Structure 1
Amino acid sequence: MAAWLLAPQFTRSCHRQTPLTACKSNLKNIGTALEMYSTDWSGHYPPNLNLLTPNYLKTLPECLNAERVTYRIATGLNAPLNHGRFQDYYLVECTGTSHQDVNIPADYPKYTGIMGLIEQ
């Protein structure tokens, strides 16, 4: 197993990030942790994000706007936005309407291993 642990970057920042910027950073950190997990588990992604702690993330980050963990994972052929029908695919999204105040639709932003960050 990988010995690295990722901590949410917004907690170490010397300036305050907007909730949307912090959320995007959380998604990228989760994506990095998923890739490390996949390397250790023969190309497989976890069925839920809780399996990333404590070996890949100290804790699951919270969306600042929601003040709770709102991140959800979908994997495999039937995952949303998997237009190429890749088996080794994941999508992580911030669920709910946490970012409507800045005109971000429900269940966004999202992050995939193929497309990266998807804001809307």
Structure 2
Amino acid sequence: MANFHTKVSLRGFHFEDFILTFTLAAGIVAADSGKAVSVDASGPNKVKLAGDGDTIIGRLQTVEDRKVEGQLVGAVELKFANLIPIKAGDLIAVGDTAIGGGGGTVKKAATADHAKNFVAEIIGTDAVVVQI
């Protein structure tokens, strides 16, 4: 922790007013928390793990399997500055715009659009994505 208060990082910011509960696509599990999500048009108020080329609408914060009610729900951060795993082999870099890389990962968009999001930092195999 040598860099405590000496290094600027945008990692780990969330905005309570922009965290909403969505219905989740089948197969999403608690281990998927922290991954990118996109709209799932198969049902109302539903998201899925971001597929290859999908527009990212948020970051999955939590997963709750309400078996008794027969539904799978999760909290989704619509605005955030936090880690999302990078698609293996992708060369996303600081300043790029992130799109879905498949399975909730991100990859570099062909054209940057900072009105959507931007990569602020790379930490290992994760990108700190700032979703505006």
With the shorter chain as reference, the TM-score category is: under 0.3
Q: Which has the higher strand share?
A: 2
Relative contact order, higher structure (CA 8 A, sep 6+):
2
Give the TM-score normalised by the residue count of structure 2.
0.24
Give the TM-score normalised by the residue count of structure 1.
0.25
